[in-house]
Copies of this chain bind each other. A is one copy, B any other.
């Protein structure tokens, strides 16, 4: 993996992230493809709309179809027919969302499958082994995530466990062709974030993620934590803000020096009949769209906006037709990619290289 910063504007950076399956222009938004599919969208459409890297989830894929199936298929890229870079989330966040179905110890996390109730045990080492079999370009370490707000002690305990696990994950690596990113935790406590960032950087990873945000706090609470983390993290390596966010969140975090993002917002909203537009979110189930023959987003150049009316999309949503999530997901992801291209171009045009 190679990361090159080609322009800066204040704290914001425009870069090139070279990975085994291709180069990604940063800042970049990775569409979420939890189960080895970005819901409703085919790989060639993701390429068309400008996505260059997607996220899959090791936790979900370990459960279904099973790590060994993906490995036997020749890895994630071949399994899902996506030839470009892939990052796998470790599943830390998903495991810790299981509530009563899991029990954390310093050794790892015991959990029951939400699919069939079967018992499983994840350790930092076993998750790296899973990710090495899945074969993404970038693997995330297993971390211990707390909901915000968490008390200082809760956040400190989870953060220190995350650091310990990051060290074990790093030691467990066997694939030289796979990048691994560490994850900064510490809730909304700046001093814990600083401790976490320094300790994680001391272990040494190919890139660094900021985790545990957009999990209960307000944007105004999130942005200062992003600031604190970016101040401590090394400038020469990519920074990835996990699970964030709204178009506003992306603008604010790019300005603070974040290079990579993933979020379910554009794909999930689409499946709830909601389009992200310059003018804000539009719920297409709203009756006011029944006779609205204008484009979904007059500012947008995507095929959905060029070829279909709001009235048609309203009709599809009302009838529960599969074309509704298809067309709206395409638009929402196009909108996110166009936003990232615009932010990148602003850094290049107005910054210094």
Interface residues of A (CB under 8 A from B): 35-37, 39-40, 42, 64-65, 69, 72-73, 79-81, 290-291, 293, 307-309, 311-312, 314-316, 318-319, 321-323, 325-327
Assuming the contacts A73-B312, A308-B81, A311-B65, asked whether A35 and B319 have C-beta atoms less than 8 A apart, the reply is yes
Q: Max chain B CB contacts within 10 Å: which of A65, A290, A291, A314? A: A65
Assuming the contacts A322-B326, A326-B322, asked whether A316 and B81 have C-beta atoms less than 8 A apart, the reply is no
Interfacial chain B residues near A65, Cβ < 8 Å = 290, 311, 314-315, 318
Given contacts A65-B314, A73-B311, A79-B312, 9 further A-B contacts (CB under 8 A): A37-B323, A40-B322, A42-B326, A64-B319, A69-B290, A72-B291, A80-B312, A81-B312, A322-B325
Assuming the contacts A307-B81, A315-B64, asked whether A321 and B72 have C-beta atoms less than 8 A apart, the reply is no
Question: A-B pairs with the 6 shortest C-beta distances?
Answer: A65-B315, A40-B322, A37-B323, A81-B307, A35-B319, A37-B321
Contact A64 B326 (CB under 8 A): no
- From B35, B291, B293, B323, contact of A42 by CB (8 A): B323
Interfacial chain B residues near A73, Cβ < 8 Å = 293, 309, 311-312
Interfacial chain B residues near A318, Cβ < 8 Å = 64-65
How far does the alpha carbon of A316 sit from the alpha carbon of B69 in the complex, in Å?
A: 13
Interfacial chain B residues near A323, Cβ < 8 Å = 37, 39-40, 42
Interfacial chain B residues near A327, Cβ < 8 Å = 42
Interfacial chain B residues near A42, Cβ < 8 Å = 323, 326-327
A-B contact pairs, 17 of them (CB 8 A): A35-B315, A37-B316, A39-B322, A39-B323, A40-B322, A40-B323, A64-B318, A64-B319, A65-B290, A65-B314, A65-B318, A69-B311, A73-B293, A73-B311, A80-B312, A322-B325, A322-B326
Assuming the contacts A42-B326, A307-B81, A326-B322, asked whether A69 and B37 have C-beta atoms less than 8 A apart, the reply is no
How far does the alpha carbon of A81 sit from the alpha carbon of B325 in the complex, in Å?
A: 17
Contact A36 B69 (CB under 8 A): no
Interfacial chain B residues near A316, Cβ < 8 Å = 35, 37
Interfacial chain B residues near A319, Cβ < 8 Å = 35, 64
Q: Max chain B CB contacts within 10 Å: which of A37, A291, A308, A325? A: A37
Interfacial chain B residues near A312, Cβ < 8 Å = 36, 73, 79-81
Interfacial chain B residues near A69, Cβ < 8 Å = 290-291, 311, 315
Shortest distance from the beta carbon of A292 to any chain B beta carbon, whole Å: 10
Interfacial chain B residues near A322, Cβ < 8 Å = 39-40, 322, 325-326
Contact A72 B37 (CB under 8 A): no
How far does the alpha carbon of A311 sit from the alpha carbon of B72 in the complex, in Å?
A: 10
Interfacial chain B residues near A79, Cβ < 8 Å = 309, 311-312
Interfacial chain B residues near A37, Cβ < 8 Å = 316, 321, 323
